[in-house]
Amino acid sequence: MSQEAGFNVIIPSRFAASRLPGKPLKSIVGRSMIARVWDIAVSSGADEVIVATDDARIVDEVVACGGKAMLTRHDHASGTDRLAEVVESLAWPDETVVVNLQGDEPCIPVELIRDVAGALRANTNAGIATMATPISTTEELFNDNAVKVVVDEQSLASYFSRSPIPWVRGVFHPGQIPQHLPPEFRFLRHIGMYAYRAGVLGELARQPQTHNEIAESLEQLRAMALGIAIHVTIIDEPPPPGVDTAADLERACTYYSE
């Protein structure tokens, strides 16, 4: 495929992790986690796959596994900034579709990579594409670790929040978690799978944090503040969670063993 018709994948990967130090190099059934994620990205049919990291050990591991890696700056505030450095270094055209595949997602279904890239290509009014899945429990809706999103009639994000949105007046009450969700309303949990236009990545990296972004600790709100449309594809089931802890790593090993 040509670059205009296809997509590229960048895998941001940091060696330091407070809960599982060195996790990109942890073994998952005889192959490192970063190599497993690389395998998934390649199998998606991406035109180009690059691991962007701040540690030479990860570069060495990726190259040893037959992959391509780039050593990026240590002081990036976010993965988006790391992606933007790669895009700028390689001078990718502004309309290049770039999928951000986190380096700690060894169990991500490969079709989600293709789907989020395809959604961005199909929706030319959007600068970013992402995904969401229905929320069915009050516990999930009122959990501030679960990011919620409201989507308009054109499948574009209206807002992201850690708070329950939309807030149903007369049903929800401050300080209380209801027993049931009102069935006439739709509640969506954001899934952190993104596709960007390369030019948008550069624009985001050049802009300072916004007030809403700082308040919610959600960097996608910077794009919304800049007027960048975010297309949201709704999928029935959330993907398997990423690897943050030793227990997560054990679960991933079980997944590959089976």
Q: Per-residue pLDDT tens for 159-212?
A: 999 999 999 999 999 999 999 999 999 999 999 999 999 999 999 999 999 999
Whether the pLDDT of residue 119 is over 60: the answer is yes
d(CA 181, CA 169): 12
Cβ neighbours of residue 28 under 8 Å, at least 6 residues apart? 36, 106, 249, 252, 253, 256
Kindly report, as residue ranges, where domains of CATH 3.90.550.10 are found in the chain: 1-108, 124-239
Residue 16 confidence (pLDDT): 81
Mean pLDDT, the chain, as a whole number?
94
Token pair, residue 92, equals 């990718």
Q: What does the pLDDT average to over 251-255?
A: 96
Query: Which DSSP helix (H) or strand (E) runs through 223?
Result: helix 220-225
Determine whether domain 124-239 maps to CATH 3.90.550.10. yes
Whether the pLDDT of residue 77 is over 80: the answer is no
Token pair, residue 207, equals 């802009």
Token pair, residue 59, equals 């570069």
Whether the pLDDT of residue 35 is over 50: the answer is yes
Whether the pLDDT of residue 3 is over 70: the answer is no
Whether the pLDDT of residue 4 is over 50: the answer is no
CATH number of 1-108: 3.90.550.10
d(CA 65, CA 71): 16
Q: What is the tally of helices (H) and strands (E) in the chain?
A: 9, 11
Is the alpha carbon torsion for 128, 133, 134, 139 positive or negative? negative
pTM, entire model: 0.92
The gap from C-alpha 91 to its chain's centroid, in whole angstroms, comes to: 22
Q: What does the pLDDT average to over 140-161?
A: 97
Q: What does the pLDDT average to over 95-122?
A: 96
Contact 152, 158 (CB under 8 A): yes
Percentage of the chain surpassing pLDDT 90? Answer: 90
